[in-house]
């Protein structure tokens, strides 16, 4: 058997499973986003494809048939993107010092920190967010303490801040790890050189460390921003009914609303935003290395 043929037989099962169970469904979903709702399965398979679902994202038909702007979905898009952005910034703000500190540790210290940072990532996302639900809830001691010192009543749960805390908590390791891999290989003598040339710590940080960390910052930002956009568990548990994100309204269309084609439309939009962000990052990276 030739090497190429053997390689084909070894590789094709895994590729086939992924293409059939992930690639094909995504294409099917793009098609369904053009159809009408209906039937017992939530999709009217015989309906003519149209862009009606995409129009519905921003406009709705008024009583007299004219199209008027409907901002309810746009608001949710905007909230998802801004919460993802806030989470990304917070994760970087915490991730950068942690990665710097980790790189300054001994070999054993680094390994222990690496393990400590990775473990939460492998534990159940639902359970980790539930832990925050316990901590922040109304009759919990954190809430009591805050309300004791605050002059007005404070609700810690079911708002944007709680969702941002939960998302940062869930995704923080994703900024620490790529930044750490950058700093691990960093030649620290460059800092000594900067120092010898009269740079203050702040200047050395801005002019030496940050430029070198940029690939790690970009990778970390992507790894946080994209999962945030599609987050479902965190806003569902910590955001309550008021702080909906894209993931929640997708689930609602497939659940209670039973409008699968519109749900597919929202999911396609999610993938499209993700694709735009990733392409922009790739272009930027190419321009930098070129």
Partner 1 sequence: MNPQRFPFTRETSLFVLAYLYVPVVVLIAYSFNANRTATVWTHASLDWYGRILVNPSIQSAAWNSLVIAVSAATAATVLALLAALATRRAFLGCGASEAILNMPLILPEIAVAVATLLLFVSLGVKLGLGAMVAAHTAFCIPFAYLPIRARLDGISGTYEEAAHDLYANRFRTFRRVTMPLLWPGVMAGFTLAFVTSLDDFLTSFFLAGPGLTTLPVYIFSAIRAGITPEINAISAVMLVVSVLLVSLSFFLGRLRR
Site for partner 1 in 160-179 (CB under 8 A): 169, 172-173, 176
- Least separation, in Å, of the C-beta of 196 and partner 1? 11
Measure the CA–CA gap between 188 and 45, rounded to whole angstroms. 62
- Least separation, in Å, of the C-beta of 283 and partner 1? 17
Measure the CA–CA gap between 217 and 175, rounded to whole angstroms. 7
CB 91 within 8 A of CB 168: yes
CB 209 within 8 A of CB 125: no
Q: Which is nearer to partner 1, 51 or 118 (CB)?
A: 118
CB neighbour list of residue 60: distance below 8 Å, 6 or more residues apart: 67, 68, 70
In this structure, what token pair is assigned to residue 215? 């690939």
Place of tokens 């609303």: 257
CB 136 within 8 A of CB 162: yes
Query: Per-residue contact track with partner 1, 184 to 223, x per CB under 8 A?
Result: --x-xx-xx--x-----x--xx------------------
Q: Which is nearer to partner 1, 8 or 59 (CB)?
A: 8
CB neighbour list of residue 222: distance below 8 Å, 6 or more residues apart: 277, 278, 281
Q: Per residue, what are the HEC states of 180-203?
A: HHHHHCCCCHHHHHHHHCCCCHHH
132 binds partner 1 (CB under 8 A): yes
- Please count the residues of this chain forming the interface with partner 1, following the rule CB under 8 A: 91
Q: Which is nearer to partner 1, 55 or 98 (CB)?
A: 98
32 binds partner 1 (CB under 8 A): yes
Question: Which residue of 44, 251, 258, 277 would you call a contact of partner 1, by CB under 8 A?
Answer: 251
Distances (CA, A) of 287 to 44, 178, 217, 281: 46, 21, 17, 10
- Least separation, in Å, of the C-beta of 63 and partner 1? 32
- Least separation, in Å, of the C-beta of 62 and partner 1? 30
14 binds partner 1 (CB under 8 A): yes
Question: Which residue of 134, 148, 197, 256 would you call a contact of partner 1, by CB under 8 A?
Answer: 134
Q: Is the Cα dihedral 107, 108, 113, 119 positive or negative? A: positive
232 binds partner 1 (CB under 8 A): yes
Measure the CA–CA gap between 133 and 157, rounded to whole angstroms. 7
From the CA atom positions of the chain, what is the Rg in Å? 24
Q: Is the Cα dihedral 134, 137, 140, 145 positive or negative? A: positive
Adjacent-strand bridge partners of 42: none
H or E element at residue 288: helix 260-289
Question: Which residue of 158, 167, 250, 262 would you call a contact of partner 1, by CB under 8 A?
Answer: 250
Q: Which is nearer to partner 1, 66 or 255 (CB)?
A: 255
11 binds partner 1 (CB under 8 A): yes
- Least separation, in Å, of the C-beta of 206 and partner 1? 12
Q: Which of residues 34-73 bind partner 1 (CB under 8 A)?
A: 41-43, 45
**Region of 48-56, 71-79, 153-161, 264-272 interacting with partner 1 (CB under 8 A):** 264-272
- Least separation, in Å, of the C-beta of 87 and partner 1? 13
**Region of 53-61, 70-78, 148-156, 268-276 interacting with partner 1 (CB under 8 A):** 268-276
């Amino acid at each position: 058997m030739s090497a190429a043929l053997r390689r084909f037989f070894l590789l094709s099962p895994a590729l086939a499973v992924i293409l059939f169970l992930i690639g094909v469904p995504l294409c099917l979903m793009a098609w369904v986003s053009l159809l009408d709702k209906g039937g017992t399965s939530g999709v009217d398979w015989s309906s003519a494809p149209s862009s009606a679902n995409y129009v519905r994202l921003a406009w709705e038909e008024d009583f007299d048939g004219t199209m008027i702007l409907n901002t309810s979905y746009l608001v949710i898009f905007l909230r998802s993107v801004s919460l993802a952005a806030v989470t990304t910034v917070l994760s970087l703000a915490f991730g950068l010092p942690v990665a710097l500190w980790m790189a300054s540790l001994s070999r054993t210290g680094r390994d222990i920190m690496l393990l400590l940072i990775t473990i939460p990532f492998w534990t159940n996302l639902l359970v980790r967010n539930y832990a925050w639900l316990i901590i922040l809830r109304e009759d919990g001691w954190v809430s009591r303490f805050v309300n004791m010192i605050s002059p007005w009543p404070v609700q810690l749960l079911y708002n944007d801040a709680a969702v941002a805390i939960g998302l940062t908590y869930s995704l923080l390791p994703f900024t620490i790890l790529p930044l750490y891999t950058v700093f691990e290989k960093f030649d620290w003598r460059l800092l000594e050189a900067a120092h010898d040339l009269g740079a203050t710590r702040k200047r050395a940080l801005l002019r030496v460390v940050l430029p070198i960390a940029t690939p790690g910052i970009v990778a970390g930002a992507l790894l946080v921003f994209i999962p945030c956009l599609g987050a479902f568990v965190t806003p569902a548990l910590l955001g309550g009914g008021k702080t909906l994100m894209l993931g929640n309204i997708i689930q609602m269309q497939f659940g209670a609303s039973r409008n699968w084609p519109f749900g597919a439309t929202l999911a396609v939009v999610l993938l499209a935003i993700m694709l735009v962000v990733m392409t922009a990052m790739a272009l930027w990276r190419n321009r930098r290395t070129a």
